[in-house]
Structure 1
Amino acid sequence: MKTWTVLGTTAIVTALSLSMVGTTSADTNHISSAPTNSLTSSSATELATATASIPSGAIVVDLKGSGQYKSVQAAINSIPANNTQQKIIYIKNGTYTEKLTITQPHITLQGESATGTILSYNATNASSGSTTNSASTTVKGDYFQAKTITFRNNAGMNAGQAVAFYNNADKAIYTDVRFLGYQDTLYTPGTGRQYFKNCYIEGTVDFIFGSATAVFDQCQIHSLGAGYITAASTGADTKYGYVFLNSRLTSSGTANQSVYLGRPWRPYSAVTYINTDMGAHIQPTGWDNWRDPANESTARYYEYASKGAGANNNARVKWAKFLNDDQAKVITIQSVLAGNDQWNPTQAN
């Protein structure tokens, strides 16, 4: 059986259409059954031991000089803007203090190990002029992939908004990746689709936020203090926002009942938790309206088969919903992310 551990100094989200038929208020419908997938699926791995050997044809980056480049950005810059084939940049263990930007499509950043290869910077909203500019790593190219690697913003807990990773592109896949920060750790703007498998995401306030459609599959979402896990800004015409499947909400240094599952950055914020193990740090009411009662009639917040000390269904706000079995079973990785081109990230190279 695979086990879950808190790694380093890490959440999950999804959303459904308000038009779902038969959805009942969170205070009246407690679902106890669950889909067949489970948190301890044999496909899960522990990030603490996730490693990767050098793939054939990869561009190698090594701080010690054994690769083609010592700088990650230099390796990125070596790939042409019109790239059409997936190019792997393999990064050996070490802490790379660089503010990275990727605009080319079809780029993979693959670390030697999930905990040993760290891409880090310390910009903040205040120092850079905006939340977007604070990102340690910025991705704007479609078909981006990251494997066995850490993205970090190490500005610190009291630095305010400080993004570790920003992706405004389509068809992104992350496998065995850590995202480390405090406020605004992971920023997913735009309308692209993103798939997170066995990832660790940590933070305090709004540390998974944006308007993209994203699935968090068997991920660990770790709170480092009181706050809000998600701040989705899902568009009114976007059916799914953040979807958490078979994941775990954990914490350290965090008071019980001090973390909300989410709050709406925009009125039609969409977040869904399915088969999620929730720790005692989760607020019994679950959701916050961001000081605007009008959001209660538009936000799309759902749960199914939540478990653990934080799964207090009877205390949830009445404007959030619990899904029934039929509604939950149709929410799959592909149904959420397929789009018009039937993209299936589990079959991507």
Structure 2
Amino acid sequence: MMNTEIHVLERSITVITAQQRDALEDNGFSFVHCKITGTTYVRGTYLGRAWGSSPTVVFAYTDMANVIHPERWNDFGHPERSNNMFYGEFQNSGLGSNVSGQARYTKKLSDAEAKSFLSLGYIQGSKWLLPHLNTRSRHSIV
């Protein structure tokens, strides 16, 4: 997702993503230049939880309100999955971007690590986001 606002409603606990992926798949969620807002100050919103055995989720350049839970990510009661989870963050801002209490499996990405998640290639965006070229053949009419 790009340039999207996610608004958290007042609830005790909320989760933005639940990515289901097994180790053999090559996919994931990438949130770039987004904004997370909310009206609650409970700080009960997780960026994601492990639904499948090997989830991959990245938030980059996202402005986060103070609604994000200090742990940021949740293993959904499956601590054995922590070695296979990829929860990355890159250059986020706002009161909710503080990573001081983050879960141990959260990854602060370097420029090089974040690069692939920031491109349209990661989500195969050239196939569905960009306008398709007109491939009809051109014929002259005489």
TM-score bracket, shorter-length normalisation: 0.7 to 0.9
Output the CA distance in 2 between the equivalents of 1:288 and 1:220: 22
Output the CA distance in 2 between the equivalents of 1:303 and 1:238: 21
Output the CA distance in 2 between the equivalents of 1:268 and 1:236: 5
Contact 1:296 1:319 in 2 (8 A): yes
1:273 corresponds, among 59, 83, 87, to: 59
Partner SS for 2:130: helix
Larger Rg belongs to: 1
**Range moving further from structure 2, 324-333 or 223-232:** 324-333
Structure 2 length as normaliser, TM-score?
Answer: 0.83
Q: CA RMSD in A?
A: 1.9
- Where does residue 249 of structure 1 map in the other structure? 36
Partner SS for 1:283: coil
Partner SS for 2:120: helix
Q: Which runs of 5+ in 1 are unaligned?
A: 1-215
Deviation of the 1:344 alpha carbon: 5.3
Partner SS for 1:336: coil
Output the CA distance in 2 between the equivalents of 1:242 and 1:343: 17
Deviations 1:37-67 (A, max 9, x none): xxxxxxxxxxxxxxxxxxxxxxxxxxxxxxx
Contact 1:251 1:279 in 2 (8 A): yes
Query: How do 1:113-152 residues align onto structure 2 when only pairs under 5 Å count?
Result: none
Contact 2:18 2:50 in 1 (8 A): yes
- Where does residue 21 of structure 2 map in the other structure? 234
- Where does residue 5 of structure 2 map in the other structure? 220
- Where does residue 139 of structure 2 map in the other structure? none
Partner SS for 2:71: coil
Contact 2:19 2:55 in 1 (8 A): yes
Deviations 1:179-209 (A, max 9, x none): xxxxxxxxxxxxxxxxxxxxxxxxxxxxxxx
Deviation of the 1:314 alpha carbon: 2.2
Deviation of the 1:286 alpha carbon: 0.4
- Where does residue 71 of structure 2 map in the other structure? 285
Deviation of the 1:268 alpha carbon: 0.7
Pick 1 or 2: higher relative contact order, CA cutoff 8 A, min separation 6: 2
Query: How do 1:83-94 residues align onto structure 2 when only pairs under 5 Å count?
Result: none
Deviation of the 1:333 alpha carbon: 4.0
Total equivalences in the alignment = 131
Partner SS for 1:335: coil
User: Is 2:97 aligned against 1:311?
Assistant: yes
Output the CA distance in 2 between the equivalents of 1:298 and 1:330: 19
Partner SS for 2:95: coil
Task: Report the AA paired with residue 5 of structure 2.
Answer: Q
Deviation of the 1:237 alpha carbon: 2.4
Deviations 1:313-344 (A, max 9, x none): 222111111110122223234221228xx625
- Where does residue 131 of structure 2 map in the other structure? 347
Contact 1:284 1:311 in 2 (8 A): no
Deviation of the 1:239 alpha carbon: 2.8
Output the CA distance in 2 between the equivalents of 1:232 and 1:299: 10
Partner SS for 2:114: helix
Partner SS for 1:328: helix
Partner SS for 2:23: coil
Output the CA distance in 2 between the equivalents of 1:330 and 1:241: 12
Output the CA distance in 1 between the equivalents of 2:42 and 2:66: 5
Partner SS for 2:15: strand
Contact 2:116 2:122 in 1 (8 A): no
